[in-house]
Amino acid sequence: MSMRWLHQWPTFWAGLLVVGIFVAVSLAGFWLTRPWVRKHCSDSNELGNYYFAAVGVFYALLMGLIAVATWENHSRIEDVVTGEAVAVSDLYRDVEAYPSPLREELRGLLRQYVQAVIEKEWPLQLRGESPAKVVGPVDQLVHRMVTFEPATPGQQIAHGESLRQLNSVLSLRRQRLQAVDDGLSRLMWLIVLLGAALTIGLTFFFCTDKLAIQALLTVALSVVIGLSIFLIFALDGPLVGSDAVQPGSFQDALSTMNP
């Protein structure tokens, strides 16, 4: 579902919009169905209650599983970002074993890489755009390290460890870039929204003379469902929008990379 634009809104206003839409639609459906319900469903409250309970349980279970999955994915991406920053810091320390002036060149490229992540890649990620093309320092770093020929056994050991650390950085970087476009599929969102419509719609089939109370209960249900869907939506973009994972780990790493 292409709703990246909503991620750019402040959390409060985006949540208010989502919940407001659910409340407005549910109230509109409630009032539009009143004449038909009064005519055909005056004695079906018990049957309607049975189906509403069954659908409500299944939908609540579905929403709970999806919410947990999106939260776990959000936490995983936070760990990926932190891991990438830590791996870069470790690599910066490992290149101490390289001879000068290569050591200074590699450290300069690592600082450029971290600065590019903070200043160029992160703003693109927040807008939902993949920063895969921002790879200048990465390509240079990989080329200089893989073409280095160790001259001593000690350098061979240090070079092997540095290459392993470089592979870790590149692997975590790929995971971060892929996470920009990751999210629930269109089919999953369709099921979530159809389930919400069905659950709220079943409340329209209850017939009572206390319309204000029934309308209030319908609104309460639509608010809960709207908040739940907004929570899933906000967590579904861990690197996009105002609630995205922040580059604090890279800023901390950069502060330790003294020229």
pLDDT tens track for 34-80: 877 777 666 666 666 777 788 888 999 999 999 999 999 999 999 99
As a whole number of Å, the end-to-end CA separation of the chain is: 45
pLDDT surpassing 70 at residue 134: no
Question: Whole-model pTM?
Answer: 0.83
Q: Residue 246 above 70 pLDDT? A: yes
Please report the pLDDT score of residue 1 as a whole number.
44
How high is the pLDDT of residue 47? 62
Residue 196: pLDDT over 80 = yes
Q: How many residues does the chain have?
A: 259
Kindly report, residue by residue over 157-185, the tens digit of the pLDDT: 989 999 999 999 999 999 999 888 888 88
CA dihedral (4, 73, 126, 178) positive or negative:
negative
Q: Where are the alpha helices (DSSP H) in 8-127?
A: 11-40, 45-94, 102-116, 122-126
Query: How confident is residue 214, by pLDDT bands cut at 50, 70 and 90?
Result: confident
Average pLDDT over residues 139-147: 89
What's the chain's average pLDDT? 87
Q: How far apart, in whole angstroms, are the C-alpha atoms of residue 127 and residue 125?
A: 5
**Rounded mean pLDDT, 234-247:** 87
Q: What is the pLDDT of residue 152?
A: 85
Asked whether residue 3 carries a pLDDT value surpassing 80, the answer given is no
Sorted by sequence, the CB contacts under 8 Å of residue 108 that are 6+ apart come out as 259
